[in-house]
A and B are shown apart, each in its own frame.
Chain A
Amino acid sequence: MAGAGGGNDIQWCFSQVKGAVDDDVAEDIISTVEFNHSGELLATGDKGGRVVIFQQEQENKTQTHSRGEYNVYSTFQSHEPEFDYLKSLEIEEKINKIRWLPQKNAAQFLLSTNDKTIKLWKISERDKRPEGYNLKEEDGRYRDPTTVTTLRVPVFRPMDLMVEASPRRIFANAHTYHINSISINSDYETYLSADDLRINLWHLEITDRSFNIVDIKPANMEELTEVITAAEFHPNSCNTFVYSSSKGTIRLCDMRASALCDRHSKLFEEPEDPSNRSFFSEIISSISDVKFSHSGRYMMTRDYLSVKIWDLNMENRPVETYQVHEYLRSKLCSLYENDCIFDKFECCWNGSDSVVMTGSYNNFFRMFDRNTKRDITLEASRENNKPRTVLKPRKVCASGKRKKDEISVDSLDFNKKILHTAWHPKENIIAVATTNNLYIFQDKVN
C-alpha cells in the first residue's frame, strides 16, 4: 500500500529530526530537500552552500514496527560564495535546487545549483583498499628499490566505508539572472536550467555550451512585466517541459516545434474576475513551484494561498484547487510589509499521486487527499518528538471564538516557515524542512 492512502487515513508519526536545537546561523538555513529515485537517499542543501545526504538504514527484519532510519551518508561543500567583479554582483553560495539522476551504476549522481552555476556531483563508496605494494610502505613512504628482494601482488582488503563526493562537471556562465530551477529530462542525457528570464538546455556530458530554449527578456527592460518562476521537464515525454510565471500562468512547450520555444504549445491560466482585482492580486498569484505528477497526466502549482492541480488536457482552469491558508487573505497588508508575501513555498506529490503536500507558517504543513477531498494540518515541532507518537492535527482559527487547541491567526509565527518538503517516491515517509531543522515523519506501521 506504499504511497496510497489518504492524508487523513494515514496516521503520521514522528520519526527523526536533524539539526541544532537553538540556532540562528544563517548558513544553516535549509534551502532544498530531495529524495532520490529509490527513496534510499535524501539530500538537503543549505544557505552555506553545503549538501548533506542521508541514507536509509536497511530494514531491520526483527523490528517490524519501524522502517529504516535516515543517517548521514555524505556531506560536502557544493558551492562557494563568489564575487563577479565585471558585473559587481555578489553570488550567493546558497543551494537553490538539488536533483538526483537515476542510478546507472554503483555511484550516485546529483545536480546541485546556486544562482549561477550548476554542478554534477558523483557520490561513490569505497570499502576496499589495495594493500601490499612493493615500492610503498603501508603508511605511504616509498621503499628503497634496492631493498626489495621478493615481489608480491597487491590485494584489495576491506576497509571502513568511505563515501566520497567529487564534482564531475561544472556548468557555468550560462545565466545572466538567478537560476531558480533545474530539471533532468526523461532521456537521462539532458537537463534544463531556468533563471528569471531564460531557460537553457544542457547535455550532461558537455559543459562548455548550452542551448537557449526560452527567452522572455523584453527588448526594453522597462517593459518587463513577467518573470519565470519555475520549470520542469515532463516525466515521460522528453520533448515537453513547462514553466511558470510571476503572473500565475504556466506555459507548456514542445521542443519539437522549434529550436526556440518562445511560443508555447499550451497556456494554462485561470481566468480572474476583474472586479476582484486588488493591489495584491498579481503578487499572490505568482507561482512559486510547479511539479508534474508521477503519471505525467497532471501538474500541480503553488501560489501564495493555494495549491492547484491542472489536467494537461485542459488549459482554461485547474481541475482541483486547495486552500492552504485562506485566513491569510485578511493579513495581506502586514504580510506585504514584512515581505512574507514573497515567500516561495514548494509542493510535492506522494508516490501514487493521490495526496499532495505543501508547507505554511508556524511550522505547519498541509496535506490534501485528492480522492477523499480531506485535508490535514500538521506541525513540525520538537515537542512531539517521541518516535511513533502520532501527530495531532492542528487547526487555525480564522476569526471569532477560538476553540481549545486551535491557534489564532494573530498568534502564528511567520518566521517559522516550511518552504521545502519532500515525499518518498514509494513509501509514506516525508521529509519536512523548517528553517534549519529537517524532520522525518512516517506513517504508523502496525
Chain B
Amino acid sequence: MSQKQEAENPSEETGEEKQDTQEKEGILPERAEEAKLKAKYPSLGQKPGGSDFLMKRLQKGQKYFDSGDYNMAKAKMKNKQLPSAGPDKNSVTGDHIPTPQDLPQRKSSLVTSKLAGGQVE
C-alpha cells in the first residue's frame, strides 16, 4: 500500500508543479501591470478598486455653488469692469467664484444631429 502511494506521489507532484507554472504564466501579465502601476503611484491601492472609484462615479456632475459667495462676487463685479474669462473657460476651480459670465454655455444643441443631415454613403 505504502509502496503504491510512493509510486503515485512523484507523478502527482509533477502534475501540480505543471499547474503552478501555467497559473503563474497566466497571472504574470496582470501582476506585472499591477507592479508597474504601484511603481508609478505608490499611494494607490490601499483599497483595491473599491470605494474611491465608486464615490467618484456617484458624484459625477457635482459642481459647488454657494449663493452667498456668488452674490458677494456679483456685488463686487458691479464696482469694477467685468473681468474677461480666464484662459480655460470650462474649468472654474479653487478660490474663483463663478459668475454667469464664467460658466460654460449650457445651451442645448440647436443644431440638427449630423447623423440626420447629408447622408454620406
Contacts and interface: CB of A to CB of B under 8 A. Distances in A.
B116 A329 contact: no
A178 interface: yes
A278 B120 contact: no
B109 interface: yes
Given A17-B121, A81-B106, A336-B37, A75 B112 contact: yes
Contacts of A92: 61
A48 B109 contact: yes
Interface stretch (B6-14, B45-53, B72-80): B45-53
Interface string A48-77: 111010000000000000000001100101
Contacts of B113: 28, 44, 46, 48, 50, 52, 75
Contact of B60 (A178, A330, A436): A178
A21 interface: yes
A71 B115 CA distance: 10
A44 B63 contact: no
Interface string A339-355: 00010000000000000
Interface stretch (A146-154, A253-261, A280-288, A364-372): A280-288
Contacts, number: 154
B35 to A, nearest CB: 9
A346 B114 CA distance: 23
Interface residues on B, range: 35 or more
Interface string A77-115: 101110101011111110000000000000000000001
A271 to B, nearest CB: 15
B115 A52 contact: yes
Contacts of B106: 81, 83, 90
A283 B109 contact: no
A224 interface: yes
B1 interface: no
B114 to A, nearest CB: 4
A20 interface: yes
B54 A224 contact: yes
Contacts of A85: 65
B120 A17 contact: yes
Nearest to A46: B113
Contacts of A222: 51
Interface residues of A, number: 66
A385 B121 contact: yes
Given A44-B115, A196-B58, A333 B37 contact: yes
A16 interface: yes
Contacts of A330: 29-30, 32-33
Contacts of B109: 27, 48-50, 77, 93
Nearest to A329: B29
A387 interface: yes
Nearest to B60: A178
Query: Which residue, B27, B29, B63, has most C-beta atoms of chain A within 10 A?
Result: B29
Given A88-B62, A92-B61, A331-B33, A279 B48 contact: yes
A91 B114 contact: no
B108 A278 contact: no
Contact of B108 (A81, A333, A438): A81
A18 B121 CA distance: 7
23 contacts: A18-B119, A19-B114, A20-B114, A25-B114, A27-B109, A28-B113, A72-B115, A72-B116, A77-B108, A90-B62, A115-B60, A178-B60, A178-B61, A224-B58, A225-B51, A227-B54, A227-B58, A278-B27, A278-B31, A278-B33, A330-B29, A330-B33, A331-B33
Given A333-B37, A387-B121, 19 more contacts: A18-B114, A46-B115, A48-B108, A72-B119, A80-B108, A81-B108, A88-B63, A89-B61, A93-B108, A178-B57, A224-B55, A226-B54, A276-B27, A278-B27, A279-B45, A281-B30, A281-B49, A282-B48, A436-B114
